[in-house]
Amino acid sequence: MNEISAVTNYPVSVSEKNNVKAVNFRRSNVVENQDSYDRFIKEQEEAKKKAKRQQIFTNAVFGTMALSSLAMLGFYLHHEGIFKKFKLDFKDIVKEKSLKDMAMPDTQTEAANRISTRIKHYDEMIKKGGKKGSSILFYGPPGTGKNTFAYGIAKEFPNAKFIEMDISKMNSMWHGESEKNALGTMEAAVKYAQKHRDEKLFVFIDEIDSVMMKDNGANAKMSNDMLNAFKKGFNKLTNEENIIVIGATNLKINPELGALENKALDTAMLDRFSQKVLVDLPTKKQILESVGKFYNNPERGMIDEALKNKNDQRWDKIAEFLSDKKHATSFRKLTDILGTAAESTEIGKNVTFEEIINAIKVNKSNLNATDAEMQAFIDSMKKSK
């Protein structure tokens, strides 16, 4: 006799003999009939299916709860920076201009020499009473070549590595995340510098003023938390002898007050920079030098010979017009003008002064030039032929 557990509302036993199946009911109130055994088997199978469905549902519920808990734990650990890795992206500056290839005013050349000397002879500067840490702030109008200037200084050192910190990419909608991003990147740079003492690590921070401002408004706590985190990371950077921090801002600095104009700047942060260098709009002399180096490049073969002569009287007129402060001609704008001239030159022909004049006319609005000023410039160019 094979005993079968109760899976329906009554216990039963089943016996098989000579292929005859019998169901012996142990409950007197259950009526035995011809369909009793088939009904029992069917009910047993239904009960098993129901139990299986219940188990699947239970597993799904607990599985979902487990996954949700893991997701919340992962978010928390990521938010706290436990699993986050901060990778340093080194910029290839091999093809960037060196200092000798740049058209710089005497003041900027002197600043470049002073910065390079300090970096090369850091130990001696400290022994003489110099300020510890190498930190420089470049300030001036946009498009004046602050990035290029930083690349040029780095190229003075054959063992230099260069990284750029993009503050805008570090901002996060989550409170506390932005400062962790900034501090994490800075700490990664410190660890790299400590492992590579034979290298000079340049850390370039563009639009650095965005994390140097005091905020008394609605977002004051978030802004000031970011400022404090940035100060902490900045101090760690400048504590390493082989790290050179270069900040850049398009804002103006008041020489007398030593502060950025019209901004609630944290002066303690500004004081952390050992040197502050103005990178201003190019002078007439710089424009002539830049054009001369641009057109005397061996890669540019389809250039009229007259354009290669920076002493040509027409260049003098062009440089005089562009160097007028109200036109705010940056190196970027100058490059745009020369590029426009190249693209508007007929295929198969060389670039001439005519294309340069037309390119300046095309960029009239970018140069903030009036129609009268532009016509006066064109007339002066005709007289210089």
pLDDT of residue 288: 93
213 CB-near residues (< 8 Å, 6+ apart): 223, 227, 263, 264, 265, 266
- Single-letter residue type at 169: K
| Largest distance between two CA atoms of the chain | 128
As given in the structure block, the two tokens for residue 181 are: 């991003």
Say how far apart CA 246 and CA 276 lie, in whole Å: 10
CATH 3.40.50.1820 fits 99-278, yes or no: no
| Contact present, 281 and 328 (Cβ < 8 Å) | yes
Say how far apart CA 97 and CA 170 lie, in whole Å: 28
> How do the pLDDT tens digits run along the chain, 385 residues long?
444 444 444 444 444 444 444 444 444 444 455 566 566 667 767 777 777 777 776 776 666 766 666 666 555 445 444 445 677 889 999 989 899 888 888 889 999 999 999 899 888 988 888 777 899 999 989 999 999 999 999 999 999 999 998 776 655 444 456 677 788 889 999 999 999 999 999 999 998 888 877 665 545 555 677 788 888 899 999 999 999 999 998 887 775 555 666 566 777 888 888 888 999 999 999 999 999 999 998 888 899 999 998 889 999 999 999 999 999 999 999 999 999 999 999 999 999 999 999 999 999 999 999 999 999 999 888 877 6
pLDDT of residue 66: 63
Nearest to 198, CA basis, from 158, 165, 153 = 158
Domain boundaries, the chain: 1-38, 55-84, 99-278, 284-383
| Cβ count within 10 A of residue 196 | 13
| Cβ count within 10 A of residue 24 | 10
| Contact present, 336 and 363 (Cβ < 8 Å) | yes
| Contact present, 184 and 86 (Cβ < 8 Å) | yes
Enter the DSSP assignment of 303: B
Phi/psi of residue 342, nearest 5 degrees: -65, -45
Enter the DSSP assignment of 205: E
Say how far apart CA 258 and CA 263 lie, in whole Å: 12
